[in-house]
Structure 1
């Protein structure tokens, strides 16, 4: 028969949540940075423009 597991401490729970949130914050900063560089025109990122899409059809 299954027995109950031990309760996870609040500090361990908070630590896991903080890690999860920190990862989300880092990804959000990367997305904002990429968007800013694309809008400023200084990016090395290659993305399709409307003119290129029309030429392929």
Structure 2
């Protein structure tokens, strides 16, 4: 016979959500940093330019 699972406590739920949000914030910060470095021209990131795509 099926038995219901125990309820997850609010602290466990909040900890899980905080971890998820922190990971998202870190990735967003990396994306902003990469975008700024590309725009400034000091990037070591290789990306196709419009001239290369046309030919």
Aligned-residue offset at 1:54: 1.6
> Partner of 1:35 in structure 2?
35
Q: Where does the alignment leave 5 or more consecutive residues of structure 2 unmatched?
A: none
What is the rounded CA distance, in whole Å, between the counterparts of 1:3 and 1:52 in structure 2?
62
Aligned-residue offset at 1:53: 1.2
What is the rounded CA distance, in whole Å, between the counterparts of 1:8 and 1:54 in structure 2?
55
> Partner of 1:11 in structure 2?
11
Q: Which runs of 4+ in 1 moved over 4 A?
A: none
1:21 aligns with 2:41: no
TM-score (norm 1): 0.92
Q: How many residues align?
A: 55
